[in-house]
Structure 1
Amino acid sequence: MSTGKVVLGTVAGLAVGGILGILFAPEKGSVTRQQILDKGNDYADDLKSKYNGIAETLKEKFQAVKNDAENIAQSGKAKFDEVKNEINRPAANY
């Protein structure tokens, strides 16, 4: 099971449990609605925070892969230029 599915299932379970707990609590309707709204906002903030963390991690990994690819390309170009010079050097001696 992927980590994303586990996190989503956990968040959904917490949300459902929190809402059911509030709905069955002996409070006035207006108080219960406010509590549901507060819990929903808390869950939304938590989800945004996790999303931002994942997005930042992916951005960092993408940048690292991009840097590695640029280094490999530069190394390949340098090796190509070196081989090209080796081939042209003997031809210039004739």
Structure 2
Amino acid sequence: MNDNGNTLLGVLAGTAIGAALGILFAPDKGSVTRKRIAEQAEATRDSIAESTMDLRDKAASTVASKRETLDHQLENIVSDVSHKTEDVITTLEKKLADLKTKNKKLQKTS
């Protein structure tokens, strides 16, 4: 995500610099050149703001998606642990029943 943001910023900066240089070297009056520079600066600012908003929205969407995936995985893990715990309890109950049976047999022979 950071590389994409840096690349996008570099492209936008390069575009702005190129446009500004093109305007500066154009054979127009100073007032016309200043007006073009101001318009280009405003357009670039709007473009950067829009790109920043898009990047923020994508980041928020990615975070929400990852959170949802993590919640789902955690839910599955808890469910699996619960099933395994139930299996262990069932096994222990069977062993306890066997031990009680053996203990009763020992008590009868004594």
Q: C-alpha distance in 1, partners of 2:6/2:35?
A: 34
TM-score, reference length from structure 2: 0.63
Amino acid at match of 2:86: D
Q: C-alpha distance in 2, partners of 1:5/1:29?
A: 29
- Runs of 5+ unmatched residues, structure 1: none
Q: Identity over aligned residues, as a percent?
A: 26
Tell me which structure has the larger Cα radius of gyration. Answer: 2
Structure with bigger RCO (C-alpha 8 Å, 6+ apart): 2
How many residues matched? 93
Amino acid at match of 1:13: G
TM-score, reference length from structure 1: 0.71
- Runs of 5+ unmatched residues, structure 2: 101-110
Amino acid at match of 2:48: Y
| Worse-superposed segment, 37-46 or 19-28 | 19-28
After TM superposition, the structure 1 = structure 2 runs for residues 15-26 of structure 1, keeping only pairs within 5 Å, are: 15-25=16-26, 26=28
RMSD of aligned residue pairs (Cα, Å) = 2.4
Q: C-alpha distance in 2, partners of 1:35/1:14?
A: 10
Aligned in 2, Cα 1:51/1:21: closer, same or farther, shift over 3 Å? farther
